[in-house]
Amino acid sequence: MMTKGEIVLGCLAPHPPHLVYADNPPQNEAYSEGGWETLRWGYARLARKLKTIDYDVLVVFTPHWQTYIGTHFLGLPNFKSKSVDPIFPNLFRFNYDLNVDVELAEKMREAADEAGIITKMMTNPDFRVDYGTIVSCHLLNPDWDKPIVTISSNRNTHYYSAEVMNEQAAALGRACQKAIEKSGKRVVLVSSHSLSHRHFTTEAPLPEDMSREHIYNHSNYVWDLKLVQMMRDGKMKEVIDIMPEFTEQTIAETDAGAFTWMMSALGYPDYPAEIYGYQSVIGTGNLVASWDPNDETREYVL
């Protein structure tokens, strides 16, 4: 009998393209002098932890594949192209070549469909994978030696409300968790987004000039840090309960549903999150964190 699959880690992995730009990987055409070290060093620490974990696939929920007609899943085994960020093309022009675990993606789609969620497999070979997926996955696994599954963000918050988003994303999380169990695979979940998400609408002449970087306003900072404290305290059900208010008050990128999806799939952890770093990027609040269900390997990082 097949071993039951499990979620071995959940990662909050923000995707500002600035972080890849600052790292200067060979895949990216733009060149930088650095920047945003607090986040990048935090990511590097988390990536090292991932190297110590036995897992089969990264499953990423991304706000930058925005679908209005249901939830979509990448459905071809390989995608190779160049991703140019439509907002920050000066920073991110990344040549990618990634593999998809189509079998797991299809299982997740089926489970979501059974739960009454509108779904679609994406099987157009010309489709360009979004930069949210690429940034988060690259920073967590720069070797790209594991397949991924990408799940689109259905825009419930905009079409209905943040409350509807919370319910729908939680249902999707439960469905994906069931599919993972049935698959027999060891899975890392990736919730790809910032916390508060108000950007500055101008950019420094040198984007990595850290003397210009700060959070957009103090209110957003206070909200972000409130959530960080609740994560440290293992109060994830409470975090999801206040998610609609947080999302509205800070224009948070949690509007996409990724965080609610991940917490639902993880069963709303009551153990402390591992905190790897918090920093602003062009005014938005970004946290790198993870949830390790294994009491023996869970760390107190920061």
Partner 1 sequence: MTEENNEPEILFGIYCPPHPHPLLCPEANEGYGKLRSAYEECRKRIEESEADLILIYSTTWPSIVGHQIQALENPVWTHVDDDFHYLGSMPYDFKIDVDFANGYAQAAEKRGLHSRTVAYEGFPIDTGSVVALQLLNPDNRIPACIVSSNMYANRAETIVLGKAARDALAEQGKKAIVVVVASLSNRMFTEHIDEVDDRIHSQKDDDWNQKILEFFGAGRLEDLSQLSRDIHGQIRVNKVVAYKPAWWMAATMGQHNNYTGEVLAYEALHGSGGAVITLTPTDGSFGDKEFDEDDVEFYHGDRNVLDKGML
131-140 and 37-51 helices, crossing angle to 10°: 70
Sole window of 10-18, 180-188, 195-203, 264-272 interacting with partner 1 (rule: CB under 8 A): 195-203
Angstrom distance (rounded) from CA 184 to CA 249: 40
Distances (CA, A) of 111 to 68, 99, 106, 119, 178: 20, 22, 9, 10, 7
82 part of the interface to partner 1, by CB under 8 A: yes
Comparing CB distances to partner 1, the nearer of 169 and 188 is: 169
Sole window of 10-18, 137-145, 180-188, 198-206 interacting with partner 1 (rule: CB under 8 A): 198-206
CB 188 within 8 A of CB 8: yes
Comparing CB distances to partner 1, the nearer of 93 and 235 is: 93
226 part of the interface to partner 1, by CB under 8 A: no
Sole window of 102-110, 139-147, 179-187, 214-222 interacting with partner 1 (rule: CB under 8 A): 214-222
Q: How many residues bind partner 1 (CB under 8 A)?
A: 37
End-to-end Cα spacing for the chain: 41
Helix boundaries (H) for 130-217: 131-140, 156-159, 162-183
211 part of the interface to partner 1, by CB under 8 A: no
Of positions 38, 106, 115, 120, contacts partner 1 by CB under 8 A: 120
CB atoms within 10 A of CB 92: 24
Of positions 32, 44, 70, 272, contacts partner 1 by CB under 8 A: 70
Instruction: Mention every residue, 6+ apart, whose C-beta is less than 8 A from residue 222.
Output: none
Q: What burial class does residue 13 get, using C-beta atoms within 10 Å of its C-beta: 0-12 exposed, 13-18 middle, 19+ buried?
A: buried
113 part of the interface to partner 1, by CB under 8 A: no
Sole window of 79-87, 132-140, 256-264, 267-275 interacting with partner 1 (rule: CB under 8 A): 79-87
Interface with partner 1 (CB under 8 A): 65-70, 72, 82, 84, 86-90, 93, 118, 120, 122-124, 126-128, 152, 154-155, 158-159, 199-203, 217-219, 282
